[in-house]
Structure 1
Amino acid sequence: MRHAAILLALFAVSPALGDDALTFLGVLNGRDIVVELTDGVTGPVVGRYTYRDTGGDIPLLAVSHGDGGIVLNEEAPCDESTCKTDDEGKAVDPPLAAVWELTYDGEEYIATGTRTTLDGKPKSAPLKLEVLAWRTLDASEEITPFGLHDRSASMSFDDAVPLNWASAPYEMQLLDTTLDEGLDDHVGEANFVYVTDPRTKFAFPRVTGFDDGSPVDKVNAILSEQHGRMNLSAFDCLAFRYATYGKGEYMAEMGGTLGDYDSEQVSLSYASPRLVSWVQSGSLWCTGAHPYNHVDSYTFDLETGKPLDLAKVFSAWVPREWGAAVDEVADAKAVAANPDGFYWGPSAGLMAYVRDNIPSDLFDAELESECMGPEAIAEHLDIRFADGNAVVFTLSGFPHVASVCNGDLFSAPMDEVSQFLGKGAAEYFPGAL
Structure 2
Amino acid sequence: MFWTVVKRAALLGALLALPLTARAEPVTYAGKLGNIDIVVEFTGDPATAGAALAGRYFYRSKGVDIPLQAKSNKGTAFQLAEEEACDAKKCGDGQAPPIAAVWRLSSSDKGKTLEGTWTAKKALPLKLTRIASRAQTETPATTPRDLYDFTDMTFSGDDAPITMAASPYDYLRLDFAPKADAKAGWPDAAYDYVTDPRTKFARPRIVDLAGGAPIEAANALLQSRHWHDSLSALSCAALRYAGFHEGPPIEGMDDGSLGGYEDSHSEVTSLTPKLMSWRESGSLFCGGAHPDNYSDAYVMDVRRGALLGLQDMFSDTVDGKPGPSLLAFVKEKRNKPSEQTEIESEAECGTDDLINDYLAASLKRDGDKQMLVFGLQGLPNVIQACGDDLLEMPASEAQALFKPEFAKLLEP
Asked if structure 1 preserves the Cα contact closer than 8 Å seen for 2:70 and 2:81, the reply is yes
Asked if structure 2 preserves the Cα contact closer than 8 Å seen for 1:275 and 1:428, the reply is yes
Q: Which amino acid aligns with 1:231?
A: S
**2:323 matches 1:347:** yes
User: How big is the shift at 1:140?
Assistant: 5.3
User: How big is the shift at 1:288?
Assistant: 1.0
**2:67 matches 1:93:** no
Q: Which runs of 4+ in 1 moved over 6 A?
A: none
Paired residue secondary structure (1:55): coil
Asked if structure 2 preserves the Cα contact closer than 8 Å seen for 1:268 and 1:279, the reply is yes
> Aligned Cα RMSD in Å?
2.8
Asked if structure 2 preserves the Cα contact closer than 8 Å seen for 1:270 and 1:277, the reply is yes
Question: 1:192-341 maps to which residues of 2 (within 5 A)?
Answer: 192-246=191-245, 248-249=247-248, 251-255=250-254, 256-302=256-302, 305-319=305-319
Deviations 1:26-56 (A, max 9, x none): 2224432111113245865221111111221
Give 1:77's match in structure 2, choosing from 80, 85, 101: 85
Match for residue 6 of structure 2? none
Match for residue 31 of structure 2? 26
Provide the C-alpha distance between the structure 2 equivalents of 1:79 and 1:375, rounded to a whole number of angstroms: 45
Deviations 1:343-369 (A, max 9, x none): x21123322322333334598123312
Return closer, same or farther for 1:2/1:298 CA change in 2, 3 Å cut-off.
Answer: closer
User: How big is the shift at 1:182?
Assistant: 1.0
> In terms of mean alpha carbon deviation, does 92-101 or 204-213 score higher?
92-101
Match for residue 60 of structure 1? 68
Return closer, same or farther for 1:214/1:107 CA change in 2, 3 Å cut-off.
Answer: same
Return closer, same or farther for 1:138/1:392 CA change in 2, 3 Å cut-off.
Answer: farther
User: How big is the shift at 1:226?
Assistant: 0.8
Paired residue secondary structure (1:133): strand
Q: Which amino acid aligns with 1:212?
A: G
Return closer, same or farther for 1:188/1:134 CA change in 2, 3 Å cut-off.
Answer: farther
Asked if structure 2 preserves the Cα contact closer than 8 Å seen for 1:81 and 1:249, the reply is no
Match for residue 103 of structure 1? 106
Paired residue secondary structure (2:57): strand
Paired residue secondary structure (1:364): helix
Q: Which amino acid aligns with 1:428?
A: L
Return closer, same or farther for 1:370/1:236 CA change in 2, 3 Å cut-off.
Answer: farther
Asked if structure 1 preserves the Cα contact closer than 8 Å seen for 2:215 and 2:302, the reply is no
User: How big is the shift at 1:314?
Assistant: 0.5
Match for residue 42 of structure 2? 37
Provide the C-alpha distance between the structure 2 equivalents of 1:418 and 1:84, rounded to a whole number of angstroms: 61
Return closer, same or farther for 1:419/1:25 CA change in 2, 3 Å cut-off.
Answer: same
Question: 1:138-153 maps to which residues of 2 (within 5 A)?
Answer: 138-139=137-138, 142-153=141-152
Asked if structure 2 preserves the Cα contact closer than 8 Å seen for 1:156 and 1:230, the reply is no
Provide the C-alpha distance between the structure 1 equivalents of 2:278 and 2:139, rounded to a whole number of angstroms: 34
Paired residue secondary structure (1:249): coil
Provide the C-alpha distance between the structure 1 equivalents of 2:349 and 2:398, rounded to a whole number of angstroms: 22
Q: Which amino acid aligns with 1:377?
A: I
Match for residue 380 of structure 2? 399
**2:403 matches 1:425:** no
Q: How many residues align?
A: 391
User: How big is the shift at 1:83?
Assistant: 4.1
Structure 1: gaps of 5 or more residues = 10-15, 86-90, 320-343
> In terms of mean alpha carbon deviation, does 254-263 or 61-70 score higher?
61-70
Provide the C-alpha distance between the structure 1 equivalents of 2:187 and 2:155, rounded to a whole number of angstroms: 28
Asked if structure 1 preserves the Cα contact closer than 8 Å seen for 2:83 and 2:97, the reply is yes
User: How big is the shift at 1:2?
Assistant: 7.7
User: How big is the shift at 1:261?
Assistant: 1.1
Match for residue 359 of structure 1? 335
Q: Which amino acid aligns with 1:209?
A: D
Asked if structure 1 preserves the Cα contact closer than 8 Å seen for 2:240 and 2:249, the reply is no
Asked if structure 1 preserves the Cα contact closer than 8 Å seen for 2:218 and 2:306, the reply is no
User: How big is the shift at 1:60?
Assistant: 1.2
Paired residue secondary structure (2:237): helix
Paired residue secondary structure (2:134): strand
User: How big is the shift at 1:309?
Assistant: 4.1
Match for residue 178 of structure 1? 177
Bigger share in helix: 2
User: How big is the shift at 1:422?
Assistant: 1.9
Q: Which amino acid aligns with 1:412?
A: M
Provide the C-alpha distance between the structure 2 equivalents of 1:395 and 1:234, rounded to a whole number of angstroms: 26
Return closer, same or farther for 1:281/1:150 CA change in 2, 3 Å cut-off.
Answer: same
Deviations 1:122-149 (A, max 9, x none): 4322111122333222335644312222
Q: Which amino acid aligns with 2:357?
A: E
Asked if structure 1 preserves the Cα contact closer than 8 Å seen for 2:43 and 2:141, the reply is no
Give TM-score scaled by structure 1 length.
0.81
Q: Which amino acid aligns with 1:67?
A: G
Paired residue secondary structure (1:60): strand
Paired residue secondary structure (1:153): helix
Provide the C-alpha distance between the structure 1 equivalents of 2:351 and 2:187, rounded to a whole number of angstroms: 32
Asked if structure 1 preserves the Cα contact closer than 8 Å seen for 2:118 and 2:125, the reply is yes
Provide the C-alpha distance between the structure 1 equivalents of 2:140 and 2:273, rounded to a whole number of angstroms: 38
Provide the C-alpha distance between the structure 2 equivalents of 1:43 and 1:412, rounded to a whole number of angstroms: 65
Q: Which amino acid aligns with 1:102?
A: L
Question: 1:376-391 maps to which residues of 2 (within 5 A)?
Answer: 376-387=354-365, 388-391=369-372
Return closer, same or farther for 1:140/1:378 CA change in 2, 3 Å cut-off.
Answer: farther
Return closer, same or farther for 1:250/1:318 CA change in 2, 3 Å cut-off.
Answer: same
Paired residue secondary structure (2:240): coil
Deviations 1:228-251 (A, max 9, x none): 111111101110112221163262
Provide the C-alpha distance between the structure 1 equivalents of 2:151 and 2:203, rounded to a whole number of angstroms: 20
Provide the C-alpha distance between the structure 1 equivalents of 2:409 and 2:286, rounded to a whole number of angstroms: 38
